[in-house]
Amino acid sequence: MEYKTPLETYTGRIREVTIGRGGKAIRIGGGNILPLHRFEGNTANRPVVALEVDDNGAAGWAGTAVEPFRDVVHDPVKWAGRCLELGADLVCLHLEGTDPQGANRTAAEAAALVKKMVQELGSPLIVYGCGDDKKDVEVLTAVAETCKGENLLIGPAVKENYEAILRAVSDNGHCIIAQTPIDINLEKELNVKLLKHLTPERIVIDPLSSALGYGMEYSFTIMERTRQVGVVYGDIAMQMPVIADLGRECWKTNQAKSDGEQGMLWESITAMNLLLAGADILVLRHPDNCRLLKEAIEGKL
């Protein structure tokens, strides 16, 4: 008797989100299957890998993560260009320099940098604020207005400040990163609020990513459940793609700081696991791991 692999089909579908514009725009999501179950349905768009750029000149980064960019870390635009040359699908800019407890750069300075990066690279761009709720409203609003129509992916929008960031994103033609602290209920609650003013095709979920040995299993579980609720159960408030901003979490571990080889493994293993959990965007720091993950995504491993 011929064996036939049992297949599952689902009614739910992850919404397709477009980042950037024109011929270089990147699309994520759109599938009606569980992560990597290509044999069961339509993937629509493969997961993508971003490399991180820090406007603060890689302050505090481990040496191994800095080495491929050592000659360009003083210039975020050149650094971003190097990321694309080394194989990144897109760039994720962290505006750490706007942190009030750090360099405290102004919203205008941050917006000017993002505008310059968009103009010179012509590539889709992810923009994260510094994580200070109040300052992020100022900075991300300025970025959204200055780069109107560029369709950036901007965040994080959190429970404490989402309304102002949502308004800026909606009014200026961008997509938003909805961030919640590893909690499926809080994730859905924020998504429901965003959906009152924004279509699901302009929302990406950031459930927060933890590193191997530092709570990765919690991140894995939430990402996995997010995809299951959206695809298997068809919950429209949970049918958005997921971003895993994991590089920073991996390279700040004691293991990565003390040994470069361990840092490479810490990042690659964490990324591979979160890919299996359902991440649509993986944000890494080292280009070698970027190439490794892209090979895995394209089925070359």
For residue 36, tell me if it sits in a domain. no
Per-residue confidence (pLDDT) for residue 145, from 0 to 100: 98
Per-residue confidence (pLDDT) for residue 92, from 0 to 100: 98
For residue 74, tell me if it sits in a domain. yes
Residue 157: which of 104, 211, 195, 125 has the closest Cα?
A: 195
CA distance 172 to 149: 6
CA distance 180 to 159: 8
Residue 143: which of 109, 177, 167 has the closest Cα?
A: 109
| 3-state class (DSSP) for residue 202 | helix
For residue 175, tell me if it sits in a domain. yes
Per-residue confidence (pLDDT) for residue 301, from 0 to 100: 59
**Sign of the CA dihedral with 78 first, then 84, 88, and 90 last:** positive
For residue 218, tell me if it sits in a domain. yes
Per-residue confidence (pLDDT) for residue 8, from 0 to 100: 86
Give the number of other Cβ atoms within 10 Å of residue 81's Cβ. Answer: 18
- What is the separation, in whole angstroms, between the first and last Cα of the chain? 32
Query: pTM for this structure?
Result: 0.96
For residue 14, tell me if it sits in a domain. no
For residue 285, tell me if it sits in a domain. yes
Per-residue confidence (pLDDT) for residue 2, from 0 to 100: 86
Stretches where the chain sits below pLDDT 50 are: none
Residue 158: which of 216, 226, 207, 230 has the closest Cα?
A: 207
Per-residue confidence (pLDDT) for residue 232, from 0 to 100: 94
For residue 34, tell me if it sits in a domain. no
Task: Give 21's Cβ-side CA count (13 Å radius).
Answer: 11
Per-residue confidence (pLDDT) for residue 3, from 0 to 100: 84
CA distance 243 to 26: 14
Distance of CA 199 to the CA centre of its chain: 19
Query: What CATH code is carried by the domain that includes residue 150?
Result: 3.20.20.20
Which residues span the domain enclosing 215?
48-296
Per-residue confidence (pLDDT) for residue 39, from 0 to 100: 82
Q: Let me know: does 208 contact 180? Beta carbons within 8 Å.
A: yes
What's the number of domains the chain is made of?
Answer: 1
Q: Let me know: does 95 contact 130? Beta carbons within 8 Å.
A: yes
Distances (CA, A) of 150 to 48, 137, 170: 19, 19, 12
For residue 12, tell me if it sits in a domain. no
